[in-house]
Chain A
């Protein structure tokens, strides 16, 4: 469907914006369905827009402060990003080290063997189990402690240099 356009439409629009409609154009608008429709719609909308001028709008200060606050928050987030990455890398390193100590290299538990050599199998088994559990608990406690301390102090570290 093509929109039929009157060749005078641009002139009518210009005249409406300037508020001056020449006699010739006025005569044309009266006889042209397209242009009279434009006049009807444009005049209604112009009146409507005028009627809205009493409505209060948000203060410029409010908008400026909001923009500033957002800008600061974005800058803070940007500054804290490298610290976040260091924290994640530290946690990953601690977890990897814990797995390596417990599973990858059990030779360090060798010193337990002489202690357990003369004991019964049951007692020796308990010793090893208790040692492993104690080691794992110690490492996990250290891990959670480190995370807690980093969580509290990371902001101080992040901004100490700004």
Chain B
């Protein structure tokens, strides 16, 4: 009898949960799809290159959109929303990285990341030797085309620090791309 009661309760719970009115999301489904189409690819590329792991990139991507949709924020235009999305993703990635600090860096195993010519693969390895922060800054500056202020907003750094750190990261990557350093890959942080 108690078992039957529990089953009845579980079934009722299932029915009731379906009827609970969810919290209103930030945008409707059509608007979300359009926004996703425009922003998911650049965000995914950013996450994949910075995290170097596809499963983390996919998970953080989904979590970022979920948080954006349920965030209680003032009205924002598309650029601000996009910037906020990158900010969420960057913070999530940093949290994830802190938790897995002891994990050794992995190389990207995605099929699209396998380029045809060896040079590009070697150059990508150079990028992967950089620290997490350096990869973030370089990608945001030179792929996303974000200004120092925008990068500061997305990463939580001061604009003056962004300028200096970006300069150092660029020097380091340029050196690696020119083959000036053949050091072994370092574990981040």
A→B interface (CB under 8 Å): 1-5, 13, 16-17, 37-38, 40-42, 44-49, 51-58, 60, 62-64, 66-68, 70-76, 79, 152-153, 155-156, 158-159, 162
Q: Do the beta carbons of B45 and A52 come within 8 Å of each other?
A: yes
| Candidates B22, B41, B143; contact of A45 at CB < 8 Å | B143
B contacts with A, residue count (CB < 8 A): 58
B19 close to chain A: CB less than 8 A: yes
Q: Do the beta carbons of B163 and A45 come within 8 Å of each other?
A: no
B16 CB contacts on chain A under 8 angstroms: 76, 155-156, 158-159, 162
Considering the chains assembled together, what is the distance between the CA atoms of A17 and B124 in angstroms? 21
B170 CB contacts on chain A under 8 angstroms: 37-38, 41
A156 CB contacts on chain B under 8 angstroms: 9, 12, 16
Q: Do the beta carbons of B9 and A49 come within 8 Å of each other?
A: no
Report whether over half of chain B's contact residues are helix, strand or loop; otherwise say mixed: helix
User: A3-B164, A58-B61, A159-B19 given as contacts; is B142 within 8 A of A46 (CB)?
Assistant: yes
Besides A52-B45, A55-B44, A67-B70, 5 other CB < 8 A contacts? A1-B164, A49-B49, A49-B143, A63-B36, A74-B22
Q: Do the beta carbons of B143 and A64 come within 8 Å of each other?
A: no
A56 CB contacts on chain B under 8 angstroms: 112
Query: Would you mind naming 28 contact pairs between A and B with Cβ atoms under 8 Å apart?
Result: A3-B164, A13-B145, A44-B123, A45-B127, A45-B142, A49-B143, A51-B120, A52-B45, A54-B111, A55-B45, A55-B54, A58-B44, A63-B61, A64-B29, A64-B33, A67-B25, A67-B32, A68-B22, A71-B69, A71-B70, A74-B22, A74-B23, A74-B70, A75-B21, A79-B20, A152-B2, A159-B12, A159-B20
B173 close to chain A: CB less than 8 A: yes
Most chain A CB within 10 A, of B124, B168, B174, is at B174
Measured CB to CB, the closest approach of chain A to B92, in angstroms, equals 14
Most chain A CB within 10 A, of B2, B17, B32, is at B17
A159 CB contacts on chain B under 8 angstroms: 12-13, 16-17, 19-20
B62 close to chain A: CB less than 8 A: yes
Q: Do the beta carbons of A55 and B9 come within 8 Å of each other?
A: no
CB-nearest residue of chain B to A1 = B164
B6 close to chain A: CB less than 8 A: yes
Q: Do the beta carbons of B174 and A46 come within 8 Å of each other?
A: no
Contact with A along B30-67 (1 / 0, CB 8 A): 00110011001100110011000010001001100110
A71 CB contacts on chain B under 8 angstroms: 22-23, 25, 69-70
Report whether over half of chain A's contact residues are helix, strand or loop; otherwise say mixed: helix
User: A1-B164, A52-B48 given as contacts; is B145 within 8 A of A60 (CB)?
Assistant: no
User: A72-B17, A159-B19 given as contacts; is B124 within 8 A of A66 (CB)?
Assistant: no
Q: Do the beta carbons of A58 and B58 come within 8 Å of each other?
A: yes
Q: Do the beta carbons of B6 and A152 come within 8 Å of each other?
A: yes
CB-nearest residue of chain B to A2 = B164
User: A48-B127, A152-B6 given as contacts; is B66 within 8 A of A66 (CB)?
Assistant: yes
Q: Do the beta carbons of B142 and A42 come within 8 Å of each other?
A: yes
A155 CB contacts on chain B under 8 angstroms: 9, 12-13, 16
CB-nearest residue of chain A to B63 = A66
B151 close to chain A: CB less than 8 A: no
